Amino acid sequence: MKRMTQTGTTVEEAVKSALSRLGVDRNQVKVDIISEGKKGFLGFGSKPAEVEVTVIELDEPTSTNITTLKEEAVEVEPALQPNENISETLPEEKTSAEEIQHEKVSPETAIEETKLYLSNVAKAMNIEDLSISHEVNGKYVTISMESEKAALLIGKRGHTLNSLQQLAQLVANKHAGQFLLIELDVENYRERRQEALEQLAERMADKAVRSGKKVEFEPMPSYERKVIHHTLSNRLDIETYSEGTEPHRHLVIEPIK
């Protein structure tokens, strides 16, 4: 008896997925709903729907059918010979229902799921004109968003954008069969932010040299600290290092005396 457990965004989606994997029609199976799922809020607390799908076997032959079968000539397969390889006589191993259930979708589908998630978050923020596109370079995926309310998506010093990027990263790798590295951008904010950080780094380095005292930055994400480290890596009159623990880790510029 073929049986498998399948999850999906909705019960209907889980059933369709199971039918596709089993290669049968809806009228050939029995469906037991384990969980109808839960949408949650902004993706938090969500729970997928889960069903158990069982292929309905053909009825057992009646006694009349059995008698008829006995009367018919049946060709019997020859017994296995001593030198015969038993592995060649066994049927191919079927993929278990558990293995089928844990198969993950393609990277492209995972990216589309991520974009759908971001669209739903934007709608919850009353952003109705969001436009989303993406580019893929190996495991690196850049998702670009555009809206007249871009400032809401970016937030102060990019805090909202950074939080959305972390959520997008989780969503993508929840669905993908391989690790994806997500970069989320809004109307080229990342490029403009990098240029601003490079200019800030040079100004703060000059300040540290003039004053003879170390200069501390406000806490920032690791990749922004890396921009400053890289920008100042060729200067011989200062050194840079980070202090503190996340999320309060910050960068320090200290003059070399």
For the segment 90-117, what is each residue's pLDDT rounded down to a tens digit?
344 444 444 434 455 678 899 999 999 9
Q: What is the per-residue pLDDT for 229?
A: 95
61 has a pLDDT exceeding 70: no
Q: State the pLDDT at residue 196.
A: 94
pLDDT in tens, 198-207: 999 999 999 9
pLDDT of residue 131: 95
Residue 48 has pLDDT above 90, yes or no: no
Give the C-alpha separation, 241 to 251, whole Å: 6
Look at residue 176 and tell me whether its pLDDT is greater than 80. yes
Provide the residue type at 5 as one letter: T
Residue 45's pLDDT band (cuts 50, 70, 90): low
- For residue 136, what are the CA distances in angstroms to 29, 116, 142, 147, 177? 39, 17, 7, 22, 15
Query: Is the overall model pTM greater than 0.75, yes or no?
Result: no
Question: What's the mean pLDDT in 232-238?
Answer: 94
Burial class of residue 248 (count of CB atoms within 10 Å of its CB; 0-12, 13-18, 19+): exposed
pLDDT above 90 (res 50): no
Q: What is the mean pLDDT of residues 163-175?
A: 92
Residue 237 CB contacts under 8 Å (≥ 6 apart), including other chains? 205, 209, 255, 256
Domains assigned to the chain: 3-74+87-101 (no CATH), 107-187 (3.30.300.20), 191-255 (3.30.1370.50)
pLDDT at 21: 78
Q: CB under 8 Å to 122, separation ≥6 — which residues?
A: 128, 130, 145, 147, 153
Give residue 40's pLDDT: 57
Once rounded to an integer, what is the mean pLDDT over residues 54-76? 48
Q: What is the pLDDT of residues 26-40, one digit of tens each?
A: 777 777 787 777 665
Q: What is the mean pLDDT of residues 224-239?
A: 94
What's the chain's average pLDDT? Answer: 79
**Average pLDDT value for residue range 39-67:** 60
Radius of gyration of the chain (CA): 30
Rounded average pLDDT over 35-52: 66
Which range is least confidently modeled, 63-67, 160-164, 200-204, 225-229? 63-67
